[in-house]
Amino acid sequence: MIDLHTHSNFSDGSETPESIIETAKKIGLSAIALTDHDTFDGLERAATKAEELGVPLIPGCEVSSLYNQNTSVHVLCYFVSDSKSPLGLYLATLRQDRISRNERLVTRLNELGADISLDEVEKEAGGGLIGRPHFAQVLVNRKIAGSLENAFNVWLGNKGKAYIPKERTELRELVSAVKLSGGVTSLAHPLSGSFSFDQLEQNLIPLRELGIVGIECHYGKYSPGTRLKLAALAEQYGFIPTGGSDFHGKYKPELSIGTGEGDLAIADGVLEKLIAAKPEL
């Protein structure tokens, strides 16, 4: 069993890279990917612990992107960890954009009566990259929101009153940077963004032509039935059916490493297929 989608406190998870590897060891995973948003910064510490415990680590990251200029998608990128690679340089520009977004988000929240400061959010993020879950936690801490879910529904989610989207660039650019860096991409939680099942199907041929090799069919939050339907679709269109928990620690307490909500089990063979799909450099 493997897990190809986890977040540490280097982005918007609450647990350290070491603790994620320790859990992977404890539950007997045969490999785990760390896929923090927009950064490779947790990978070195994860790799040190992974080597010590003998847990195979797949370096990864997750990036938001735009497909056809208007459809927001998340992409999991695997096998790249060099910050000087085309993907590494690309991530650096995304982190820069986040800094200005965070400032605008605080201003917007303040204007709307949610009196929080960037300092508090930075403290919540503990020195890692800042994402909306950190803002959500601060809103909860300050009793401005009743729960993380409520913070997203009322304030931060894409229908929330303080929503500020991230800068995104075209998917083509991202996929190309990953390929030039020797990595592969999989479309993350394909039904949790802009696509319905039918829309996803309609776009699989162009997505494959862009160079995406995987679809995250076995996603922690999807029902077993949905996972099977997605896996059949992936097979039909020639994608690797990847999977992962999307573990975020306390920010998504219902999701566990490896097992998601308890019923996830991703076969080792998926990783072998991803390795076989790596581009020649």
* Cα-based angle 244, 137, 96 (whole degrees, multiple of 5): 75
Which residues lie closer than 8 Å to 141 by C-beta, 6 or more apart? Answer: 120, 124
> Cα 41 to the chain's mean position, in Å?
14
Is residue 189 within the footprint of ligand AMP (CB under 6 A)?
no
5 binds ligand AMP (CB under 6 A): no
Partners of residue 14 on adjacent β-strands: none
Under rule CB under 6 A, residue 132 binds ligand AMP: yes
User: Is the CB of 37 or the CB of 227 nearer to ligand AMP?
Assistant: 37
Binding region for ligand AMP (CB under 6 A) out of 22-30, 128-136, 171-179, 224-232: 128-136
Q: How far is the CB of 28 from Fe ion (least distance, A)?
A: 25
Rounded Cα distance between 153 and 149, Å, is 6
Tokens 């009743």 label which residue? 146
Please give the Cα distance from 88 to 223 (Å, whole number).
34
* Amino acid letter, residue 167: E
Provide the CA 150 distance to its chain's centre, in angstroms. Answer: 21
- Among 5, 74, 218, 227, which residue interacts with Fe ion (rule: CB under 5 A)? 74
**Residue 122 Cβ vs Fe ion, minimum distance, rounded to whole Å:** 17
String of contacts with ligand AMP for each residue 212-251, x by CB under 6 A: ------------------------------------x---
Regarding 88 and contact with ligand AMP (CB under 6 A), the answer is no
Q: Hey, what amino acid is at 185?
A: T
- Which spans of this chain sit near Zn ion (rule: CB under 5 A)? 62, 246
How many Å separate Cα 210 from the centre of its chain? 20
Euclidean distance between CA atoms 80 and 85, whole angstroms: 8
Segment near ligand AMP (CB under 6 A), from 28-36, 118-126, 131-139, 260-268? 131-139
38 near Fe ion, rule: CB under 5 A: no
Instruction: Kindly list the residues in this chain that would bind Fe ion in the complex (CB under 5 A).
Output: 12, 74, 188
Instruction: Kindly list the residues in this chain that would bind ligand AMP in the complex (CB under 6 A).
Output: 12, 37, 131-133, 148-149, 152, 157, 166, 248
